[in-house]
Amino acid sequence: MCANQKSVSWITSSVLDALKCRRRAERKWRKTKPKIDRQLFNPVRNDTNKLVNRTKADHYNRLIVDNVDIPKALFGTLNALLGKTQNVPYPKEGDLNSANILNTLFSIDKINKIHSGLNPVFDSICCIRLLECTL
């Protein structure tokens, strides 16, 4: 594996050996270009691809089965498999425009207006039940 490639947890020594063998056969075929080298390269390539796919599938199946009772780890694994990343765009420090927009959405006047529109009977029933629960 090259130094600039990120290491992946599913690569085993047998996968590395198969990748080296495939690359060796491919270099020979591309260098000499006869049909016999191409015919020798194709099954090596196919076997290597099958091994890589099987190894990856086994690894991720094992991760999913091991984390079936741990939702955070399970969904983290699934999101990694699906290529989903969490990029939460937080506002920049000192971004007054964004702060002012949020202030208009959640102003005290707006909250008071919503509260005044609620049914007063409902409010008193909720308060009585809340008091009963705390006693």
For residue range 59-83, list pLDDT tens digits in order.
Answer: 988 888 888 888 888 888 888 888 8
Return the pLDDT at 122: 55
The crossing angle, in degrees rounded to 10, of helices 35-66 and 13-32 is 160
Six token digits for residue 118: 């609620």
Confidence of residue 33 (pLDDT cuts 50, 70, 90): confident
Confidence of residue 110 (pLDDT cuts 50, 70, 90): confident
- pTM above the 0.75 mark? no
Q: How far is CA 33 from CA 23, 38, 42, 45, 46, in A?
A: 15, 7, 13, 16, 19
Cα separation of 92 and 94, whole Å?
6
The crossing angle, in degrees rounded to 10, of helices 71-82 and 35-66 is 160
User: What is the total residue count of the chain?
Assistant: 135
